[in-house]
Amino acid sequence: MFFLGKGNIMVMGQENHQRRAVHPEDSKWTEYFINAPVLSCSCQTLEESIKERRDKLVTEVRCMIQGYTSSKIHLSHGMKIVDAIERLGVGYHFHEEIGMFMRVLNDTPARENDMAEAALRFRLLRQHHYNAPSDVFGCFLDKNGDFKETLRYDVDALLSLYEAAHLGKCDEELLKNAVVFTTGCLSAMADTGQLPQPLLEKVEHALTSPTQRRMKRLEAKLYISIYENDEDSNQDILELAKLDFHILQQMHRDEARRFSLWYKELNVGSTLGPYIRERPVECYFWSLCVFYEPQYAKARMMFAKLTKIFSLFDDTFDSYGTLEELHLFNNAVQSWDEGGAKQIGENFGYVMSLLCKTLNEFVADGASPLGIDCTKKTIKEASRCMLQEIIWREEGQVPLLRDHLEFSTITTLYWAMACISFVDPMDTNNGVAVFRWAISSPKIIENSAMITRLMDDIAGHEYEKERSGIPTTVECYMKEHGVTIQDAKKALWCLVEDEWRSINQEFLSNTTVPVPLLTRVINLARAMETMYKTIIGYTHCSSIINPISNVLDKCVSH
């Protein structure tokens, strides 16, 4: 039921309330980071020299961006520089400079004879909350309304259009067609084996996931090697990206270590038993999907802690409690009653107390009290919907897809996680309007939760069918439409695409919430692209060793 995937199923006897757990797959990371060596004095000296060189490069690149903005002559080259900076993960150093560049770019018409440039301009503007019109691509169509045949052989133009098309909104048929057209052309080129290796890497990277849907920290790591082999790469920007990734990686490793220690001190496994999934580093990795920048260190720890507690909350519903107990537990959650939870049993009391204690600590540490209240309300909604899923399981019901999604998108807990991502004390502008919006179940959060639910169920349907009685969206679609598993999954993937287009639309139309907060909601959906596109990465944690290793363990040569 939870966005991290269903927990291990408990065989529950309703008559005698006996429980039998299958122990989850172990995570390799917790002890690894706890035992990671602390930097020696000599290493600390080296780190200081790396930071000094990084800061010098930041100044030089800042001047470079300002030069493109003030001259307004070489904006096409400036676009490539800004795009590289952001894909390499160092855009946070140049927020004001890039903002000024984008304002100039928005006021400058696109050149109609260059698809690669027009598509890059379109994508950058939409990424930065400018509602660039899609009719800019009309001049690249033939008299039948299809993309001109000459584009089929222009790899740069195809790559640029492919990336831009994934910023399309719901009603933009031209961009939907562009995704199909460019995907087909690029796939055919990759299959011929005739592309030079650097270009082949670019094409395969794009086809795996478009930039719009990639986890930004992982993208930075992977894109460094692609940019390094690009004959047009800027060496100062490349060096800056490598040094900055190293510096942030050291910070993130230390955070992962401290988070693992926090979790180990809770001694959760001994308290709750074998039914829980012990995934502290995976939860911290999830927080890096949402915000990786240095200034959000405190927010990351809050987010990771609550994510881990949500996992315990979900496992207790899905893999431990009987229906009778869960009715009582839901009542305790609705009234926010620790004492009531403790009366049901030790495990219920522990989970509820840990949740209450942690949220109170967040407030004491400067988190927005209003934001914490919003988070509590969304947790209550999730509890109510989790109970409904258990009722479906116990009664053997397979609901209609729309009824399933009405509840199961909320049980992803993404609504609650969006709220907690807004409570950081660094975000001084997050006032009443923001949290009033957040608690209203806004469309963009619903989109992100829908993507999460659908991708979770598509990747994990077979596993859940075998291990859990809770129906998935795949099962609901199969029953409702009388189709095969393959047809159901194909149809649900189409719904995922629809939700991404809706996210783009909601992002561009929202003027209530600051762009950085909207970006966090989108980042929640991007996490699924890394962890759930082909596998249920939280439950089967060995399948996401490589992404975590890339971000937190493997070094960048510099």
Kindly report, residue by residue over 386-406, the tens digit of the pLDDT: 999 999 999 999 999 999 999
- The answer as to whether 558 is a domain residue is no
Q: How sure is the predictor about 40, in pLDDT bands with cuts at 50, 70 and 90?
A: low
Neighbour count for residue 82 (Cβ, 10 Å): 25
**Cα gap 435→403, rounded to integer Å:** 27
pLDDT of residue 288 exceeding 50: yes
Place of tokens 């098309």: 165
- The answer as to whether 81 is a domain residue is yes
**Please, what's the largest Cα pairwise distance for the chain?**
78
pLDDT of residue 403: 97
Same structural domain, 200 and 290: no
**Cα gap 132→114, rounded to integer Å:** 17
Q: Which of 187, 215, 238 is the last residue of a domain?
A: 238
**pLDDT above 70 covers what percent of the chain?**
89
pLDDT of residue 2 exceeding 80: no
**pLDDT above 90 covers what percent of the chain?**
77
Given a contact cutoff of 8 angstroms between Cβ atoms, the answer to whether 55 and 247 are in contact is no
Q: How many domains does the chain have?
A: 2
**Cα gap 146→143, rounded to integer Å:** 7
Q: Please compute the mean of the pLDDT values over residues 428-432 and round it to a whole number.
A: 75
pLDDT of residue 20 exceeding 80: no
Q: Please compute the mean of the pLDDT values over residues 533-544 and round it to a whole number.
A: 55
pLDDT by residue (tens digit) across 187-208? 999 998 889 999 999 999 999 9
- The answer as to whether 40 is a domain residue is no
**Cα gap 500→181, rounded to integer Å:** 18
pTM (whole model) above 0.85: yes
pLDDT by residue (tens digit) across 465-502? 555 578 999 999 999 999 999 999 999 999 999 999 99
CATH code of the domain covering residue 156: 1.50.10.130
Same structural domain, 232 and 280: no
Q: How sure is the predictor about 537, in pLDDT bands with cuts at 50, 70 and 90?
A: very low
- Go through 164-186 and write b for each residue having 16 or more CB atoms within 10 A of its CB, e for each that does not: bbbbbbeebebbbbbbebbbebb
pLDDT of residue 10: 41
Given a contact cutoff of 8 angstroms between Cβ atoms, the answer to whether 388 and 407 are in contact is yes
Same structural domain, 222 and 315: no
Same structural domain, 489 and 545: yes
Same structural domain, 349 and 411: yes
User: From the CA atom positions of the chain, what is the Rg in Å?
Assistant: 24
Q: Please compute the mean of the pLDDT values over residues 156-170 and round it to a whole number.
A: 98
- The answer as to whether 470 is a domain residue is yes
Same structural domain, 185 and 304: no
CATH code of the domain covering residue 525: 1.10.600.10
pLDDT of residue 339: 96
Neighbour count for residue 476 (Cβ, 10 Å): 23
- The answer as to whether 83 is a domain residue is yes
Q: What is the mean pLDDT of the chain?
A: 90
Q: Please compute the mean of the pLDDT values over residues 419-432 and round it to a whole number.
A: 82
Q: Please compute the mean of the pLDDT values over residues 140-150 and round it to a whole number.
A: 93
**Cα gap 544→321, rounded to integer Å:** 29
Structure tokens at 48: 């200081």
Q: How sure is the predictor about 17, in pLDDT bands with cuts at 50, 70 and 90?
A: very low
- The answer as to whether 59 is a domain residue is no
pLDDT of residue 546: 86
Full domain range(s) for residue 418: 276-553
At residue 529's C-alpha, the angle toward residues 30 and 196, to 5°, is 105
What phi and psi, each to the nearest 5 degrees, are found at residue 485? -60, -45
**Cα gap 306→321, rounded to integer Å:** 21
- The answer as to whether 71 is a domain residue is yes
Same structural domain, 365 and 227: no
pLDDT of residue 42: 63
For residue 19, the SS3 value is strand
Same structural domain, 202 and 283: no
pLDDT of residue 446 exceeding 50: yes
Given a contact cutoff of 8 angstroms between Cβ atoms, the answer to whether 316 and 355 are in contact is no
Q: What is the 3-state secondary structure (H, E, C) of 502-524?
A: HHHHHHHHCCCCCHHHHHHHHHH
pLDDT by residue (tens digit) across 360-380? 999 999 999 999 999 999 999
Neighbour count for residue 267 (Cβ, 10 Å): 9
To which H or E segment does residue 487 belong?
helix 485-509
Nearest by Cα to 227 from 64, 75, 81: 81
Same structural domain, 366 and 302: yes
Given a contact cutoff of 8 angstroms between Cβ atoms, the answer to whether 412 and 448 are in contact is no
Same structural domain, 98 and 196: yes
First-to-final CA distance of the chain: 43
Q: Which of 192, 218, 238 is the last residue of a domain?
A: 238
**Cα gap 110→151, rounded to integer Å:** 18
Q: How sure is the predictor about 26, in pLDDT bands with cuts at 50, 70 and 90?
A: low
- The answer as to whether 445 is a domain residue is yes
Same structural domain, 163 and 80: yes
Same structural domain, 173 and 322: no
Q: Which of 238, 260, 290 is the last residue of a domain?
A: 238
Strands (E), 370-509: none
